[in-house]
Structures are given as C-alpha cells and as structure tokens.
Structure 1
Amino acid sequence: MPRYARSERQALADLFQTLGPDAPTLNDGWTTRDLAAHLVLRERRPDAAGGIALPPLRGYAERVRLRIAARPWPSLVDQVRRPPAWSPVSNPLTDELANTMEFFVHHEDVRRGRPDWLPRDLPAGLHRALWKRATALARVMLRRFPADVLIQAPEYGELSAGRGGEPVRVVGPPGELALFLTGRQRAARVQVDGPALLADRLRAARLGI
C-alpha cells in the first residue's frame, strides 16, 4: 500500500536540505526554517500544537516554535524527516490520515515559493487521497460562503458547498484544489467560474486553518 504521507515527508526534507534554512515559502513571512519548526512543533510538542488552530493558545505556540527554529538546521531537518512513533499525529495508525495533505501542501509551499517551480505529475493514488481530504475541508471552509460553490475534480468527483445562491465553480486536479482550499489560492492552478464579484471574493477568502 502506498505511503503518501511518508513519501511527501521525505521529499520535503530532501528539499529543505537542498535549499537551506532561508529559502522563501508560500507562507507569508516564513522561511524554510520557520516552516520546519512548525512541523516539528506539530508532531513533537502536543502541549503547544493546539495553538496552531486555537487563538487563545497561539502566543504560547509561537514562543515554542521560535525556540525550535533556533536549533541547528541539520538537526531540525532530521526531526522533520524522522517523526517520533509516539506522536499523536505521526504514529503508524494516524500518519497517513493526518499527514498526507499536511506534507503535500507544505512540500508545495516550498516548491512554489520559488519563481521557477513547475507542477508535478502526481500518481492517481495520491490524487484520490487528496480528493478525500479536500472534500471534507471544502464542507468546513466554505460552509458560510454566500454562494453555491461547486468543487469539481475531473475523473475524481465533485461536491457542492457554501450557503447557496448564485453558483461559483472551481475546477482542477485534487492536488490543486487542496492548495486552493487551504488558503493558497494565488498559487493553485484551478479555474474559477461565476459572477466576477463572487469569484474574486472566493479567490481572496481566508481558507484553511
């Protein structure tokens, strides 16, 4: 059985090693060092990881992340590459579910943070895995959007989200839709069709965690 979370993790760690700690990413204001520290915090500091999603804990999480970021770069990359087996999000039972989209998206954050990036030819199995996660994310992220948003991944499926009203359609491969729905709209190669104001609002919406 393919282990897409593991392969995306290893590819990202290899890219970290190649580019070094100061390369840009799609995450505003974050270098590769900042992103690596985020990943280490998420997996190795459950006391602080809640701050990734919960505003009251965000200040503590950021202080922990900055301390992690100060570690030597080779050590930081090695911690990304080799997660602890006890981690709530990276143990053998949870790794594929919790990390396939996480590491795909962050791998692309680094790849697409450079001006010369090109899209990858992803295996169909990874597209299927990303589509499952993208559909769940769309229902959450778009539940309050004031339109009937049709998300279409040709050959993989489609779903409707949003509060209803005028239709807006977003079409692309599952990997590109995953990036769009996690707030990387400007870097995602998707087609957005519909009334101009709604389409522009969707492209600028704050999506993702």
Structure 2
Amino acid sequence: MGTHADQTSGSTPGRDFTAASRDALVEALLSAGPGRPTLCAGWNTEHLAAHIVLRENSPLVAGLLFRPLARSLHRRTMDLGDSAATPEAYQGLMERVAAGPQPPARLRRHAQAARISDEISGRIKGTGAARKAAQATNLLEFFVHTEDVRRAQDRWAPRHLADDYANALFAEFTRRARLMYRSEPTGITLARSTGQRVVARPARQGGASRTIAGPAGELVMHGFGRRDHALVLVD
C-alpha cells in the first residue's frame, strides 16, 4: 500500500480500512501456512487464527479481560488451533477468519432466521457508526497480528503503507497510547516520520522523557509490546 514512509499527518474521516486489514491478515496467514511461528509466545499461525475466530464469535472472549475465563479461553484457543494443523483444516480456519463474525449456530441451522440475521447484519454494518466501531475494535488488532505473522518468519521487510491507511492506524493508536505507556518510568512522546508528535505519557515535573520516532505502523508495533521487532528510534 503506497510508500512505507509516512507522507501526511492528517486523518481520513469516513474511510474504513478494517476489511482491507482483515484481507492482509488472511493473506499473511495463508502465505505462512500452518505450523509457522508468530511473535505471540506459544502460538503458531493456526493458534493466532483460532484467536481471531474466537475473539469474534465466542463468549469466551471475555477471558481477555475477565481473569476467571482466561484459562478456558486459552485452552479453547490451543484446541482449535491444534485441530487446524493440517493444510485442509487450516484452509477451513482461514475461511472462518475471512468471514468475520457469524450468527450463532442455532440461527444458522434455520434458513429463514439466518437470512433475516444476515439482512439485519448487513444493514447495521453499512452504517457509519458501525464502521467506526469496527475500525476502533479491529484495525489495530488486525494490523499487529498481520505483523506478528510476517515478522516471525526468516525473511521479512516492512510493508508499504498508503498514507491514508497509516493516518488511520496512527489516529486509532493515539487514542490508546496513554493506556499503553502508562507504566513507563519516563515521559513518552511519539514522533511520526511526518513530523506529527503526540505525548503518550507526560513527564513528571523535572523528570526524564523519551521520544520514540518512526512511521505510524512501527510506532503501533512498539506500543503493542513488539519492541524488539519495531523499527523505531528511541531517544
């Protein structure tokens, strides 16, 4: 997509990059194949794909926030991933990732109910509010997990991100940046290669501060904890 270096610093209102980000994630998973490593400790590609499917379709996703369910979510993730270790099963799991959230199985068993559900879902997805919510929920998730696959392989290079896509990533990232850097012992300023600067953590009075500089996608990777694999400069 476009050029790797950020060229603009604005945002692109009204655009939804979630579908393209999902496509990029599926492409990366398919290209890597089953049994390949990722940057997510303990997960091969099939487990990362299982995480996406469960995140969008299982009530166990509450385990991401609710500790008592975390063990059950982890076990289900590993089981679903392990069941997709063959090329054929892996392809089926990829189709589920590509399809996105689906109605509950009990609705899908009834043709009329499934048809009504699909129609309602289609109308909801077409609204601006729904697109905004989907982007807030999935844009960074899909981008980071795509890079979790790509950057764990033997040879990789940074993707070329279109300016409007990089802008959207950075806009979503800066909404969360204070939370992500809240435990840092120093102040943190994020400096895009466009010249845009955002204070992610204010320095204490008289305290030290660091600047983390790089293109939007690399700053996202750093903020999401992939610091050994983020191409940034830390001053």
TM norm structure 1? 0.83
Instruction: Output the CA distance in 2 between the equivalents of 1:118 and 1:75.
Output: 28
Does the 8 Å CA contact 1:137/1:181 hold for their aligned counterparts?
no
Q: Is 1:130 the counterpart of 2:172 in the alignment?
A: no
What pairs with 1:76-115 in structure 2 (closer than 5 Å)? 76-84=93-101, 92=125, 93=130, 94-115=133-154
Q: Which has the larger radius of gyration?
A: 2
Question: Which stretches in structure 1 are left out of the alignment for 5+ residues?
Answer: 194-209
- Number of aligned positions between the proteins: 189
Q: Which residue of 2 aligns with 1:187?
A: 229
- Report the secondary structure of 1:27's partner residue: coil
Does the 8 Å CA contact 1:128/1:156 hold for their aligned counterparts?
no
What pairs with 1:146-165 in structure 2 (closer than 5 Å)? 146-155=185-194, 157-162=196-201, 164=204, 165=207
Identity of aligned residues (%): 33
Instruction: Output the CA distance in 2 between the equivalents of 1:107 and 1:8.
Output: 8
Spell out, residue by residue over 1:178-206, the C-alpha distance to the aligned partner (whole angstroms, 9 max, x if none). 0000010000000001xxxxxxxxxxxxx
- The one-letter code matched in structure 2 to 1:67 is D
Q: Is 1:178 the counterpart of 2:220 in the alignment?
A: yes
Does the 8 Å CA contact 1:24/1:30 hold for their aligned counterparts?
yes
- Report the secondary structure of 1:136's partner residue: helix
Q: Report the Cα offset of residue 156 of structure 1.
A: 6.0
Spell out, residue by residue over 1:118-145, the C-alpha distance to the aligned partner (whole angstroms, 9 max, x if none). 0111011111111112212221021232
TM norm structure 2? 0.74
How large is the Cα RMSD of the aligned pairs? 1.9
Does the 8 Å CA contact 1:11/1:107 hold for their aligned counterparts?
yes
Aligned pair in 2 of structure 1 residues 98, 159: CA closer, same or farther (>3 Å)? same
Q: Is 1:29 the counterpart of 2:29 in the alignment?
A: no
Instruction: Output the CA distance in 2 between the equivalents of 1:161 and 1:18.
Output: 35
Instruction: Output the CA distance in 1 between the equivalents of 2:25 and 2:212.
Output: 27
Does the 8 Å CA contact 2:16/2:135 hold for their aligned counterparts?
yes
Instruction: Output the CA distance in 2 between the equivalents of 1:128 and 1:81.
Output: 24
- Report the secondary structure of 2:158's partner residue: coil
Instruction: Output the CA distance in 1 between the equivalents of 2:161 and 2:80.
Output: 32
Q: Report the Cα offset of residue 40 of structure 1.
A: 0.5
Spell out, residue by residue over 1:79-111, the C-alpha distance to the aligned partner (whole angstroms, 9 max, x if none). 001113559xxx721322211111111111111
Question: Which stretches in structure 2 are left out of the alignment for 5+ residues?
Answer: 1-13, 105-123
Aligned pair in 2 of structure 1 residues 143, 68: CA closer, same or farther (>3 Å)? same
Instruction: Output the CA distance in 2 between the equivalents of 1:48 and 1:127.
Output: 32
